[in-house]
Amino acid sequence: LNPPLIAAVIYTESKYDPSAVSSAGAIGLMQIMPETGEWIASKLNRPFTPETLLDPYANAQLGAWYLRFLLDRYGGRVENAIAAYHAGQGSVDAWLKDARYSPDGLTLSRAGSTATQHYINKVLSAYENYQILYAAQ
Protein backbone atom coordinates (compact mmCIF):
# COMPACT_ATOMS: atom_id res chain seq x y z
CA LEU A 1 0.00 0.00 0.00
CA ASN A 2 1.23 3.45 -0.89
CA PRO A 3 2.53 5.26 2.27
CA PRO A 4 1.66 8.74 0.91
CA LEU A 5 -1.96 7.61 0.45
CA ILE A 6 -2.18 6.33 4.02
CA ALA A 7 -0.61 9.56 5.29
CA ALA A 8 -3.15 11.58 3.26
CA VAL A 9 -6.09 9.66 4.71
CA ILE A 10 -4.75 10.00 8.26
CA TYR A 11 -4.14 13.72 7.80
CA THR A 12 -7.61 14.27 6.33
CA GLU A 13 -9.38 12.10 8.89
CA SER A 14 -7.73 13.14 12.15
CA LYS A 15 -4.81 15.51 11.52
CA TYR A 16 -2.72 12.81 13.25
CA ASP A 17 -4.70 12.93 16.51
CA PRO A 18 -4.84 9.31 17.78
CA SER A 19 -7.61 10.17 20.24
CA ALA A 20 -9.89 11.82 17.68
CA VAL A 21 -13.55 10.82 17.85
CA SER A 22 -16.03 12.13 15.29
CA SER A 23 -19.61 13.14 15.96
CA ALA A 24 -20.62 10.01 14.01
CA GLY A 25 -18.54 7.82 16.35
CA ALA A 26 -15.49 7.14 14.17
CA ILE A 27 -12.37 6.68 16.28
CA GLY A 28 -8.63 7.24 16.06
CA LEU A 29 -6.07 8.20 13.44
CA MET A 30 -7.97 6.76 10.50
CA GLN A 31 -11.42 7.47 11.98
CA ILE A 32 -12.75 3.93 11.88
CA MET A 33 -16.29 3.18 12.98
CA PRO A 34 -16.35 0.47 15.68
CA GLU A 35 -18.54 -1.81 13.52
CA THR A 36 -16.08 -1.50 10.63
CA GLY A 37 -13.13 -2.09 12.96
CA GLU A 38 -14.80 -5.24 14.29
CA TRP A 39 -15.40 -6.49 10.73
CA ILE A 40 -11.79 -5.78 9.70
CA ALA A 41 -10.42 -7.45 12.86
CA SER A 42 -12.53 -10.54 12.11
CA LYS A 43 -11.01 -10.69 8.61
CA LEU A 44 -7.55 -10.49 10.19
CA ASN A 45 -8.50 -13.01 12.90
CA ARG A 46 -7.60 -10.50 15.64
CA PRO A 47 -9.28 -9.67 18.93
CA PHE A 48 -11.17 -6.39 18.91
CA THR A 49 -12.82 -3.93 21.23
CA PRO A 50 -13.71 -0.34 20.35
CA GLU A 51 -10.77 0.76 22.53
CA THR A 52 -8.48 -0.97 20.02
CA LEU A 53 -9.16 1.96 17.72
CA LEU A 54 -7.47 4.35 20.16
CA ASP A 55 -4.16 2.49 19.75
CA PRO A 56 -2.43 4.38 16.90
CA TYR A 57 -0.56 1.31 15.66
CA ALA A 58 -3.66 -0.92 15.62
CA ASN A 59 -5.81 1.83 14.10
CA ALA A 60 -3.32 2.43 11.30
CA GLN A 61 -3.07 -1.31 10.61
CA LEU A 62 -6.85 -1.75 10.47
CA GLY A 63 -7.33 1.38 8.38
CA ALA A 64 -4.54 0.46 5.97
CA TRP A 65 -5.99 -3.04 5.55
CA TYR A 66 -9.42 -1.56 4.84
CA LEU A 67 -8.06 0.93 2.34
CA ARG A 68 -6.18 -1.90 0.55
CA PHE A 69 -9.42 -3.92 0.54
CA LEU A 70 -11.28 -0.99 -1.04
CA LEU A 71 -8.55 -0.40 -3.62
CA ASP A 72 -8.70 -4.07 -4.59
CA ARG A 73 -12.51 -4.03 -4.66
CA TYR A 74 -12.55 -1.02 -7.00
CA GLY A 75 -9.77 -2.18 -9.31
CA GLY A 76 -7.12 0.17 -7.93
CA ARG A 77 -9.23 3.27 -8.61
CA VAL A 78 -8.07 5.61 -5.85
CA GLU A 79 -11.03 8.01 -6.10
CA ASN A 80 -13.52 5.13 -5.74
CA ALA A 81 -11.67 3.68 -2.76
CA ILE A 82 -11.44 7.07 -1.05
CA ALA A 83 -15.13 7.70 -1.68
CA ALA A 84 -16.01 4.29 -0.20
CA TYR A 85 -13.77 4.96 2.81
CA HIS A 86 -15.83 8.08 3.47
CA ALA A 87 -19.36 7.21 2.33
CA GLY A 88 -19.39 3.41 2.35
CA GLN A 89 -19.25 0.80 -0.34
CA GLY A 90 -23.01 0.80 -0.87
CA SER A 91 -23.02 4.48 -1.75
CA VAL A 92 -20.13 4.12 -4.19
CA ASP A 93 -21.74 1.07 -5.79
CA ALA A 94 -24.96 3.06 -6.31
CA TRP A 95 -23.07 6.05 -7.76
CA LEU A 96 -21.19 3.79 -10.16
CA LYS A 97 -24.55 2.56 -11.52
CA ASP A 98 -25.75 6.14 -12.07
CA ALA A 99 -24.64 7.86 -15.31
CA ARG A 100 -24.74 11.24 -13.53
CA TYR A 101 -21.75 10.15 -11.44
CA SER A 102 -20.05 7.49 -13.53
CA PRO A 103 -19.68 7.58 -17.32
CA ASP A 104 -18.60 3.94 -17.56
CA GLY A 105 -19.85 2.17 -14.43
CA LEU A 106 -16.26 1.81 -13.22
CA THR A 107 -14.97 5.32 -12.56
CA LEU A 108 -16.55 8.09 -10.53
CA SER A 109 -16.55 11.40 -12.37
CA ARG A 110 -17.85 12.92 -9.14
CA ALA A 111 -19.37 11.64 -5.92
CA GLY A 112 -23.10 11.70 -5.39
CA SER A 113 -22.60 13.62 -2.15
CA THR A 114 -21.07 17.09 -1.79
CA ALA A 115 -19.45 16.07 1.51
CA THR A 116 -17.87 13.00 -0.07
CA GLN A 117 -16.66 14.97 -3.09
CA HIS A 118 -15.09 17.50 -0.74
CA TYR A 119 -13.46 14.63 1.18
CA ILE A 120 -12.07 13.10 -2.03
CA ASN A 121 -10.61 16.46 -3.05
CA LYS A 122 -8.98 16.94 0.37
CA VAL A 123 -7.45 13.47 0.38
CA LEU A 124 -6.18 13.80 -3.20
CA SER A 125 -4.62 17.19 -2.43
CA ALA A 126 -2.88 15.81 0.66
CA TYR A 127 -1.86 12.72 -1.33
CA GLU A 128 -0.16 14.91 -3.92
CA ASN A 129 1.72 16.77 -1.20
CA TYR A 130 2.79 13.57 0.58
CA GLN A 131 4.01 12.05 -2.70
CA ILE A 132 6.31 15.06 -3.08
CA LEU A 133 7.49 14.81 0.54
CA TYR A 134 8.11 11.06 0.34
CA ALA A 135 9.95 11.41 -2.99
CA ALA A 136 12.27 14.00 -1.42
CA GLN A 137 13.45 11.48 1.19
- Which residue blocks in 24-104 are alpha helix, DSSP H? 34-43, 56-73, 78-87, 89-96
Q: 128 catalytic, yes or no? A: no
Q: Which of 13, 38, 51, 128 is catalytic?
A: 13
CA 89 – CA 86 distance, rounded (Å) = 9
The 8-class DSSP code of residue 53 comes to G
CA 44 – CA 62 distance, rounded (Å) = 9
Q: Which residues are catalytic?
A: 13
